[in-house]
Structure 1
């Protein structure tokens, strides 16, 4: 590959062929992998509604993934259950025509599928087939917590199986993702088995900063999910902090990405980008280097945090796990999203109410509203953020159906 080819992979150009940005790359812990600071998450690919179910728009999704790679992104993330188990298949198709050689693939072991000692090999082989690749660069134990580590990982000798898969060349590096308490994640790090860690961290949710630093000190590469606060920083802010926006901005995405990349222990921030415009928007900021936050930035962050504290108990990242086993097909993540809209500012309340009315009526917004909840608890069992979903559904229906007056 010539020097010109290499530069073309690193640079993004505008329509006049002027250089716009140089993608920044960091080393993923002791793996030695040189990874783009912005990663492509494949959990929010473009979808359409077919028979009241969300189905990935395959051709558009492939275009989005390739757009990300062409823009300098070389780290792509998926998982066994994303998009109804279709995400890995579509990612595999997107990586044809020479794109596989341009990226590092991160995907995840489906831990709920570990019922016997033989399930590990079956799941891994299935994922390799779906991706249509010979190996996976970074293979994470999905949703690992200390209880699962003790009761499942140890029981079925999963660590030994991961190491054997690495020796056989099926995976290159071993890691884990987690939503557990910080003290438990530190226990997982201290086992010494893992090379990469995926956790949530953003300017609204800074609880994991200590474990990020601990992981880095122990040689782990750190990958982040939810850098924009699960979408909370991607909507128009409350009016009393609009003045904190950067010029020509309508949300805090620029500051959100600047915040996570300011931490030198962060290697990659994943963003679930569902269209090419989102790719272009996020890539604009991917020239940010560590330790570049100014005093002005820090003041803005403090004020933003103060304003958004009211959202602390609606820490929804829109992962959708809560909906997988809902017997009533309630559109839970959409309802929580509207609840977030409603509490950020009184001006968003009417917007959220109108959206709530569309559930099940607009073909683009399938499912049922919160009134259909039978309080079975399946959603709360599945929620990695441990949100009191039943309570929030009741609150949302009361507020957004007009049964309660708004009180900011």
Structure 2
């Protein structure tokens, strides 16, 4: 089947095809009685089994923190969010060995301990980046079971595969080890998360048998990050898709005034985040849409979006297309704040710099959103301290040319600073 024929197939239909709703015991929301409408999020069936998963999953990488600059989780707030999620049927929790400097899995184990083990799904990951020998694989896996306080993982992934880590994972026989754990009942479903080009994805899909796959997908990355092609490869292979970064590291929840105006005009009562999440959920082969929810209000908004989920209409797709056109005019850096680039060998605060710069680019407020804050950075933390070693770019899942972006940002900063100094000098001379 060539690409044109594939795009016409019933599996993809269109970029935003209608979705079949699946509740826990019903295949259509229309058939539900008033008694069944309990505020639970819509669920999707896993392949042709009786297993259903919530269309909204709880990503445990951006949990509330006691201090925004440190990894310690605000467990009091996070536990309440987990309880609320369970109440609403959001019972898929996605964590990983390195999240929150290793604390995320520990928190998940503690927070879910009071619930029956068959009432929720845990997804966690093994990162080949951290492995040196085959013995490390078993050490990491056993440590995860211990931290999560469980004797099996529902959805287990080889983490962040790309053209560099896939050969390493194969040489260490990571897949073979995990497959044996699946046969022993300690893993229920085996998959991988992915950060690379579609050609690499096709290679990974073709070389092993997978139960599911996790990719980055949102309305900006559908074309920019070639997520469309990734989605098509997995759909054609019959592999259900779990989506990460549907909000692109929250950037699609905090858009430019122009983008927000477009959304408000179309539907004033709906958040920008809801639009982005519905975009992803409207794709028929998406099994779970992960959202890293830092605040309780994020969770509540997402629950509203996915309760009795409604796919985007044709008019709503046109609205998003208009927003995409406006978004591409901002000049923001396509950073999702995953922090895989850190630590920088010389101390440059890469994600923070990109976050501030993007805040300025999407808001138009240079002084308050970037200039004034950036000026207070220590010299070693500024973009100008970059020595162009390229270590960060090699680790970036978005394939950003980080040194080039840092140079661009600091050049703009210096130009604005010099202009401000010149204007101030002119004013002081006039006043004198």
Tell whether 2:367 aligns with 1:387.
Answer: no
Structure 1's consecutive aligned runs of 4 or more residues displaced over 4 angstroms after TM superposition are 358-361
Tell whether 2:205 aligns with 1:189.
Answer: yes
Give the number of equivalent residue pairs. Answer: 383
Name the SS for the 1:49 alignment partner.
coil
The structure 1 residue matched to 2:238, chosen from 207, 213, 219, is: 219
Name the SS for the 2:252 alignment partner.
helix
Give me the TM-score of the superposition, normalised by structure 1: 0.85
Match of 1:403 in 2: 417
Name the SS for the 2:323 alignment partner.
helix
Match of 1:66 in 2: 83
Residues 94 and 124 of structure 2 are in contact (CA less than 8 Å); yes or no, is this contact kept in structure 1?
yes
Name the SS for the 2:417 alignment partner.
coil
Tell whether 2:39 aligns with 1:25.
Answer: no
Tell whether 2:290 aligns with 1:273.
Answer: no
Partner deviation per Cα, 1:278-300 (whole Å, 9 max, x = no partner): 1101111003547x322211211
Residues 335 and 72 (structure 1 numbering): CA distance in 2 closer, same or farther, change over 3 Å? same
Partner deviation per Cα, 1:296-336 (whole Å, 9 max, x = no partner): 1121111111111246772211111112x223443322221
Match of 2:162 in 1: 145
1:119-138 equivalence runs, <5 A: 119-138=136-155
Mapped to 2, the partners of 1:359 and 1:282 lie a distance apart of: 36
Residues 349 and 381 of structure 2 are in contact (CA less than 8 Å); yes or no, is this contact kept in structure 1?
yes
Residues 203 and 384 (structure 1 numbering): CA distance in 2 closer, same or farther, change over 3 Å? same
Tell whether 2:107 aligns with 1:90.
Answer: yes
Worse-matched range after superposition: 298-307 or 240-249: 240-249
Tell whether 2:171 aligns with 1:155.
Answer: yes
Name the SS for the 2:189 alignment partner.
strand
Mapped to 2, the partners of 1:148 and 1:228 lie a distance apart of: 25
Match of 1:287 in 2: 307
Residues 303 and 355 (structure 1 numbering): CA distance in 2 closer, same or farther, change over 3 Å? farther
Mapped to 2, the partners of 1:300 and 1:281 lie a distance apart of: 20
Give me the TM-score of the superposition, normalised by structure 2: 0.80
Tell whether 2:122 aligns with 1:105.
Answer: yes
Mapped to 2, the partners of 1:26 and 1:148 lie a distance apart of: 31
Residues 80 and 127 of structure 1 are in contact (CA less than 8 Å); yes or no, is this contact kept in structure 2?
yes
Match of 1:243 in 2: 262
Q: CA deviation at 1:98?
A: 1.3
Worse-matched range after superposition: 349-358 or 295-304: 349-358
Worse-matched range after superposition: 210-219 or 38-47: 210-219
Residues 40 and 272 of structure 1 are in contact (CA less than 8 Å); yes or no, is this contact kept in structure 2?
yes
Name the SS for the 2:341 alignment partner.
helix
Partner deviation per Cα, 1:95-147 (whole Å, 9 max, x = no partner): 11116432111110121122112221111111111111101111101011244
Name the SS for the 1:142 alignment partner.
strand
Residues 262 and 319 of structure 2 are in contact (CA less than 8 Å); yes or no, is this contact kept in structure 1?
no
Residues 375 and 33 (structure 1 numbering): CA distance in 2 closer, same or farther, change over 3 Å? farther
Tell whether 2:315 aligns with 1:296.
Answer: yes
Partner deviation per Cα, 1:55-86 (whole Å, 9 max, x = no partner): 22223222222222222101110011011111
Name the SS for the 1:254 alignment partner.
helix
Mapped to 1, the partners of 2:129 and 2:327 lie a distance apart of: 34
1:318-397 equivalence runs, <5 A: 318-323=337-342, 325-346=343-364, 348-353=365-370, 356-357=373-374, 368-397=381-410
Name the SS for the 2:234 alignment partner.
helix
Match of 1:364 in 2: none
Residues 162 and 196 of structure 2 are in contact (CA less than 8 Å); yes or no, is this contact kept in structure 1?
yes
Residues 311 and 32 (structure 1 numbering): CA distance in 2 closer, same or farther, change over 3 Å? farther
Residues 327 and 148 (structure 1 numbering): CA distance in 2 closer, same or farther, change over 3 Å? closer
Q: CA deviation at 1:344?
A: 2.5
Match of 1:38 in 2: 56
Tell whether 2:336 aligns with 1:317.
Answer: yes
Q: CA deviation at 1:343?
A: 2.1
Unaligned runs of 5+ in 2: 1-23, 30-35, 421-432
